[in-house]
Amino acid sequence: MKRHHMSHMHHMHHMHHGMGSCERCPIVCPPTYRFHDTFKECEVPFVHPIVNVNRQNIVNVPRHYFTETSTTVPGRNIYANPGFGGPGFGGPGFGGPGGFPGGRY
């Protein structure tokens, strides 16, 4: 298209030249830019810092401790049968009927 245009201008120049003294110079227009984009990868580092945090959490676990005390208080009167404390400390009357009421302490 550009060649056709120039040849047309050249043709017009000759045509006018033969008719008179009108001589035209070509007018150069500002360039038209056509962009043909290509792309190239460029690696950009993204740094992601990781901080490992060791947390020590306290869990309250019950641990039971027992304290012991002793005290002496007056009890009830117990009467032994005759023969209490006989041979072998288990002789007649110990733990038998009448030894402790109901056979219990």
Dump pLDDT digits (tens) for 50-83. 999 999 999 999 999 999 999 999 999 888 877 6
**CA angle centred on 56, ends 52 and 61, rounded to 5°:** 150
Extents of the domains making up the chain: 1-30
Residue 45 has pLDDT above 60, yes or no: yes
Residue 4 has pLDDT above 80, yes or no: no
Q: Residue 84's pLDDT band (boundaries 50, 70, 90)? A: low
- pLDDT of 1 reads 46
Report the candidate in 70, 80, 72 with the shortest Cα–Cα distance to residue 101: 80
pTM, two decimal places:
0.27
Instruction: For residue 2, give both structure tokens.
Output: 């550009």
- For tokens 């056509």, what's the residue? 34
Distance between CA atoms of residues 44 and 39, nearest Å:
15
For the chain, the distance separating the N- and C-terminal CA atoms, rounded to the nearest angstrom, is: 131
- pLDDT of 6 reads 46
- pLDDT of 22 reads 74
Contacts of 78 (CB under 8 A, 6+ apart): 100
